[in-house]
Amino acid sequence: MHILVTNDDGVTAPGLLALAQEMRTLGRVTVLAPDRNWSASGHVKTMERPLRVRETKLADGTPALTSDGAPSDCVALALLGVVKEPVDLVVSGINPNANLGHDVTYSGTVTAAMEAVIAGVSGIAFSLDSPEKHGELDYGPAARMAAKVAARAVKEGWPGNVVLNVNIPYMKDGEFKGVMITRQGLRVYRDELVARQDPRGRNYYWIGGEVPTGVNEQGTDFGALAAGYVSVTPLQLDLTAYNAIDTLQQWKWD
């Protein structure tokens, strides 16, 4: 099995290194990841400028490729031929924060895996539910869990149009309660507008506020993490609200 490893935090991120190292236990690994942090960049296709790819090395000395494109660009570049050998699986992460509920449309980690699915290759996104305040994160247990989940998923198989969004609690080996298949929960965003003035008297803005929380509901990604389980949410790119079609079809067009 040939596995492409990418992320949205940049090729030097420790979560990527941990994931690449564990994926090597499952197959041959190629890394192509952004040269900078693209967190919360969403699903990007760069069209107005050229994309560069260059060779680099991970902190363990193994070769990697890096691009000035977004995470989804990196996956597209790799699958369109920058990586010569066919790719069987794309894994993205490990993101240092969970990607739950509505986060998935903001997430560079998840949209990288979505790009794989668009190209007809299986995609899995891995994120770590790290505590709000932490020192240096230990990605070891999450990376080992990621390899377990990927191995099981590949063995069992899953529909080709489905992205697996995996969120892993911040725990030590042996503390995980298990793996739960979940649906997207509800994130509670606490965004606040921060309005300031630059030295020339012009307004500028930050979207600030506290980190998001979530609704702890059974069966959801948020609920699984709160109970100490690894959450595996199958996502599809078809965002159609099927239950709204009947209502909208009643609209009068004259």
What is the contact surface with Mn ion in residues (CB under 5 A)? Answer: 8-9, 39, 95
Q: How many residues does the chain have?
A: 254
CB of 139 to Mn ion, least distance (A): 13
Neighbours of 135 (CB within 10 A): 6
The one-letter code for the residue type at 242 is Y
Q: How far is the CB of 155 from Mn ion (least distance, A)?
A: 28
Contacts of 190 (CB under 8 A, 6+ apart): 209, 210, 211, 212, 213
- Least distance from C-beta 239 to Mn ion, angstroms? 22
Residue type (1 letter), 8: D
CA separation (Å) from 153 to 47, 172, 242? Answer: 33, 22, 28
Query: Residue with the closest Cβ to Mn ion?
Result: 39
CA dihedral (29, 30, 33, 39) positive or negative? negative
Of 15 and 169, nearer to Mn ion (C-beta) is: 15
27 versus 212: smaller Cβ distance to Mn ion: 212
The rounded distance, in Å, linking the Cα atoms of 107 and 102 is 9
Shortest distance, position 39 Cβ to Mn ion, whole Å: 3
State which residue, 9 or 103, has the beta carbon closest to Mn ion: 9
Q: Which CB, 28 or 134, lies closer to Mn ion?
A: 134
* Inter-helix orientation angle 140-156/14-23, to 10°: 40
The least distance separating Mn ion from the CB of residue 11, rounded to whole angstroms, comes to 13
Instruction: Output the smallest distance, CB 7 to Mn ion, in A.
Output: 7
Extract the tokens encoding 15.
Answer: 């979560």
Question: Smaller CB distance to Mn ion: residue 8 or 221?
Answer: 8
Contact 53/86 with Cβ under 8 angstroms?
no
Measured from the CB atom, is 12 or 216 closer to Mn ion?
A: 12
